[in-house]
Amino acid sequence: MNRKHRHGPPRGSAKRVALPRLQREHWPRWLEIAQDRESWKASFEEWQDEVEARAERLKRAGLEVVWIDLEPEPFIAWCQSRGYPNDAESRNRFAAEQVGNIPPPLRPNAP
């Protein structure tokens, strides 16, 4: 049997990766509320450059990047409803839930 080997995801079914995106006007608020702010870049521009470089690496790997805009107050409410800290893992989890990459918890406050 002659099989063709493919590299990467089949056409039309590219794997989607959700990345959280912050807005410049909310940067000061994020610095106030993020529990992992000590690991953040010094400026919004540095943070944006880093996340855009990450997106480019994912695209070069054949993945579809889907940007999920985060707003501080709704995100805080989302974290509190699930018992999650406001950190990078939770921001990534939120983004992944929005595109269906991971299901939401079966019950509130379940990590």
Other CB atoms within a 10 A radius of the CB of residue 85 amount to 12
Render pLDDT for 57-104 as a digit per residue (tens, 0 to 9).
999 999 999 999 999 999 999 999 999 999 999 999 999 999 887 777
Q: Residue 14: its pLDDT value, please?
A: 52
Q: Quote the CA–CA distance of 12 and 3 in Å, as a whole number.
A: 20
Q: Quote the CA–CA distance of 48 and 73 in Å, as a whole number.
A: 20
Q: Residue 105: its pLDDT value, please?
A: 75
Render pLDDT for 13-57 as a digit per residue (tens, 0 to 9).
458 899 999 999 999 999 999 999 999 988 999 999 999 999 999
Q: Residue 48: its pLDDT value, please?
A: 95
Q: Residue 4: its pLDDT value, please?
A: 44
Nearest to 111 by CA among 88, 90, 87: 90
Q: Quote the CA–CA distance of 76 and 50 in Å, as a whole number.
A: 23
Q: For residue 94, what are its two tokens? A: 């939120």
**pLDDT bucket at 10, cuts 50 / 70 / 90:** very low
